[in-house]
Structure 1
């Protein structure tokens, strides 16, 4: 399992670490209108999944904005941002910030995504910062668990991986 810290303090991640080559685990999260969304809903597309602790914080804000910009340049790639923020808060934040190329998804209800991808922080009930690329056949082609949750992910590597996935 990846060793992750949050503000310098080690945290316990629930679930199993996902590795390149793995079959991407399915999950059930909530869209901004409270409808359920699963990995299977976007089958046939490449998915770049950006995981953030809370969309209203500086690094999470910057990460979501960056992937929103990159999404406009990527063909046949769906960019999903997952956090435990309430769907209402995600919708408000996206509207206030002009985010329209990324689908924000809430894992607040049961941590389905967090546990399936090994990013649920037990001590905080937040998700650890991570980025995954899942190809159109549901294989993981890129996985980054950011070692310090307050640091940025490797944007270039993630975007390159998404661009190369089929």
Structure 2
């Protein structure tokens, strides 16, 4: 849907994010870097302070800026539950 915007936030620098997107063929995702001050990781609870990395997870925010789904993955090698995130998105559009 044109009503859905996908943002990905990482501690990577913007040039590394762009390189990854190009290599993976990703062109419909807006990448954001939290490298400088880790404000996203701190504010949303994704920051792994001792490693200065963000844990994997998903936050779905509807068009009224209400958080409707959150998942924090307990292990960084584990994938997020994309099906549950998509169901939360579909419920909002």
TM over 0.5: yes
How far did 1:165 drift?
Answer: 1.5
- Secondary structure of 1:77's counterpart equals coil
SS in 1 for 2:64: coil
Aligned residues: 93
| Equivalent residue in structure 2 for 1:135, among 62, 86, 90 | 62
Post-superposition offset of 1:103: 0.8
Counterpart-to-counterpart distance in 2, 1:127 and 1:157: 20
**Consecutive aligned runs of 4 or more in structure 1 exceeding 3 Å deviation:** none
Stretches of structure 1 lacking an aligned partner (at least 5 in a row)? 1-73
Q: Which has the higher contact order (CA 8 A, sep 6+)?
A: 1
Matched with 2:77 is: 150
Which segments of 5 or more consecutive residues in structure 2 lack a partner in the other structure?
none
2:48 matches 1:121:
yes
1:115 & 1:157 partners in 2: Cα distance? 24
Residue 157 of structure 1 deviates from its aligned partner by 0.4
Task: Select the residue among 78, 81, 89 that pairs with 2:8.
Answer: 81
TM-score norm. by structure 2 comes to 0.93
Name the residue aligned to 1:105. 32
Compute the displacement of 1:96 (Å): 2.0
Q: How far is 1:75 from its partner?
A: 3.8
TM-score by length of structure 1 reads: 0.54
Q: CA deviation at 1:101?
A: 1.0
